[in-house]
Structures are given as structure tokens and as C-alpha cells.
């Protein structure tokens, strides 16, 4: 059975994320602190101070674009380091949106210190050059989007999570009307803590600055295959256009997983901040199949017990 590490992007981040691993797993803590020291030197920001020592609760939205980008990157990299120290190695990497940039570090396309500096600038690019926007998860089939003239004209279908969950992006000014429309349709939804409308035309003003940032870099060929939910494999031809597609093109987690499953069963390990992708798998994988999904980081530390299960499976 192949092991797939899954990397999520913006949306599921929160204050205090990863604190259980930080307190209980030395490999995670040491590497997280190492990365924090690098970003303090690069940008004068301490992610640890902001995440764990700012008196912010889990319920408060972590919607600072620069801080959240760095926190997502550091948490996922530290989770991978911890898993590798336990003998768990990935055969494949599955990435969604900004998670693609983190997967590139794990696949040795770019060094960690250079990556942190770029991720800091990456957040600044979208904060400076794209208009305020929002992203929202809708608990319904995507037919609802195409069947509603207001939604399809005032928002963009940013992604499909599974057959009864999709994501839309839109300008911030449309938020109230879109929420009211969904309420009138009787649809459950959740506004994500993302201040820009990724995967939509409303970030196109940032394209030039994005290309300037990434075109100057030289990427190595991935040492581990990376499959992106935007419908592409990140390969030896890695360039700014491919990376732009990861944040601008639509995501389809459902379709991507179903394609991977054609190659046989997998052990999917969600290294993201909230176990969101592992949750999606519950609605995609057949209940009688061999494939399984494991969250590691979840609010209130409910994913940490999976470490023993994963390690046992690898050793057996």
C-alpha cells in the first residue's frame, strides 16, 4: 500500500494549531522552532509567538494572509519531519492550493530557508496586489452553483471537495448577498478565514507580481511525485505558470483522489492544520475499500492518536 502525504492550503488554519504536537513531540517542536528562527531572521516575525502566546483562542479567525501562509508552511513541514523521524516516508504527495508550495519543499524542489522567504513575500504579493475577497464552503452538490444565476454570476466555483461540498470565491463586497442567497436556498455554508478570493479572477491583479517572484527561482526536479488538485503533476518542468495554476485554477479534490485510487489502495496522511482533507476522504473512499485517511493535526488534539496507528502499520 502506497503512502500519500496530503498538504492543504489556506482556510483551515487557526490559532493554537499544532500545539499538542509542539508540547508532546520533540521532533515536531525542535523543527518548528528551527523554522521559526529562520523566519524571525528573514522577516522579523515569530510564528510561535503569534500562534501560541498571543492570547488568541481557536475560535478567533487567523486571517492575516502573511502570518497564515507562514504558519501553514511551518506546521506542515514540522509534521512531515516528525513522521519521517518515526520511519514514515511518503511515496506520493497530494497537494491542494498553497499546500503545493509546501509539498515542493518536502520533494526537495526548493530549500526550506529560501522557501520561507518566498512564502513571506507570497503572502505580501496577494495582500498588496489583489482586492479583498472571500471564500466559502457550501454543503451541497456543485449543481446548485450552476443552477443559481446569482451565485454563478457573482462568484467563482473555486473547488469541489466531494460530491456534496464545494467552494466558491468572490469579492468581499458580495459576502452579505451570497450568504443571504444560500440561506434562502436552505444550504449550510461556512465562511473561511481567507481575505482574498483565491482560485478566481479576483486575484488576477497579483499575477504579474507573482510571476516576478517565482520566475527568478530555479527549481529542482521533485524527488517525490507531486499531484496537485488543480489537475496537474508537478514535475521537472516546474515553473511560475504551473505554480500560478495551483492558486488560480479550480481545485478538485474529489476527482484527484478518485484518479489516485485507480492505481491501488493508499494510506493517506493529512499533514495539514485541521485534518480537513482526511475528513473529505470519508465521503470519497468506499467504506469497504482498503484505503484509509489519517488526520494528524486537528483542533483540540484529536488526531494525535493516529501517530501510533500509522507507525504500527508502517512497521508491520
Residues taking part in catalysis: 97
d(CA 285, CA 163): 12
**Burial per residue of 23-43, b for 16 or more beta-carbon CB atoms within 10 angstroms, e otherwise:** eebebbbebbeebbebbeebb
d(CA 78, CA 223): 18
Cβ-based neighbour number of residue 173 at 10 Å: 12
In sequence order, which ranges of the chain are alpha helices (DSSP H)?
A: 19-24, 26-43, 47-52, 65-85, 99-106, 112-129, 143-147, 149-154, 175-184, 207-215, 240-248, 253-261, 276-281, 306-315
Q: Are 272 and 7 in contact (CB under 8 A)?
A: yes
Phi, psi of 300, deg, nearest 5? 70, 15
3-state secondary structure of 136: strand
Q: All 3 cell numbers of residue 285? A: 473512499
Instruction: Report the distance separating Cα 187 and Cα 164, nearest Å.
Output: 11
Rounded distance, CA 222 to CA 220, Å? 6
User: How far is the C-alpha of 189 from the C-alpha of 211, rounded, in Å?
Assistant: 33
Q: Which residues pair with 133 in a beta bridge?
A: 171
Three-state SS sequence of 203-245: HHHHHHHHHHHHHCCCCCCCCCCEEECCCEEECCCCCHHHHHH
Amino acid at each position: 500500500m502506497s503512502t500519500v502525504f496530503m498538504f492543504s492550503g489556506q482556510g483551515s488554519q487557526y490559532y493554537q494549531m499544532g500545539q499538542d504536537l509542539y508540547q508532546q513531540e520533540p521532533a515536531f517542536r525542535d523543527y518548528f522552532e528551527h523554522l521559526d528562527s529562520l523566519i524571525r531572521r528573514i522577516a522579523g516575525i515569530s510564528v510561535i509567538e503569534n500562534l501560541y502566546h498571543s492570547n488568541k483562542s481557536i475560535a478567533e479567525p487567523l486571517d492575516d494572509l502573511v502570518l497564515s501562509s507562514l504558519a501553514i508552511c511551518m506546521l506542515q513541514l514540522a509534521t512531515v519531519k516528525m513522521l519521517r523521524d518515526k520511519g514514515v516516508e511518503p511515496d506520493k504527495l497530494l497537494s491542494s492550493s498553497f499546500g503545493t508550495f509546501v509539498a515542493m519543499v518536502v520533494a526537495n524542489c526548493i530549500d526550506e530557508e529560501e522557501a520561507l522567504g518566498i512564502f513571506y513575500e507570497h503572502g505580501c504579493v496577494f495582500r498588496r496586489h489583489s482586492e479583498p475577497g472571500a471564500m466559502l464552503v457550501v454543503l451541497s452538490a456543485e449543481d446548485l452553483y450552476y443552477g443559481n444565476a446569482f451565485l454563478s454570476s457573482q462568484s467563482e466555483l473555486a473547488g469541489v471537495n466531494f460530491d456534496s461540498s464545494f467552494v466558491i470565491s468572490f469579492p468581499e463586497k458580495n459576502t452579505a448577498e451570497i450568504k443571504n442567497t444560500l440561506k434562502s436556498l436552505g444550504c449550510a455554508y461556512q465562511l473561511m478565514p481567507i481575505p482574498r478570493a483565491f482560485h478566481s479572477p479576483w486575484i488576477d491583479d497579483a499575477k504579474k507580481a507573482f510571476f516576478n517572484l517565482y520566475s527568478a527561482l530555479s527549481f529542482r526536479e521533485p524527488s517525490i511525485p507531486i499531484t496537485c488538485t488543480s489537475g496537474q503533476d508537478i514535475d521537472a518542468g516546474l515553473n511560475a505558470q504551473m505554480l500560478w495554476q495551483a492558486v488560480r485554477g479550480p481545485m478538485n479534490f474529489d476527482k484527484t483522489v478518485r484518479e489516485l485510487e485507480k492505481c491501488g489502495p493508499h494510506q493517506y496522511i493529512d499533514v495539514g492544520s485541521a485534518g480537513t482533507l482526511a475528513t473529505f476522504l470519508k465521503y470519497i473512499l468506499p467504506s469497504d475499500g482498503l484505503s484509509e485517511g489519517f488526520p494528524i493535526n486537528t483542533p483540540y488534539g484529536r488526531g494525535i492518536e493516529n501517530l501510533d496507528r500509522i507507525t504500527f502499520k508502517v512497521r508491520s
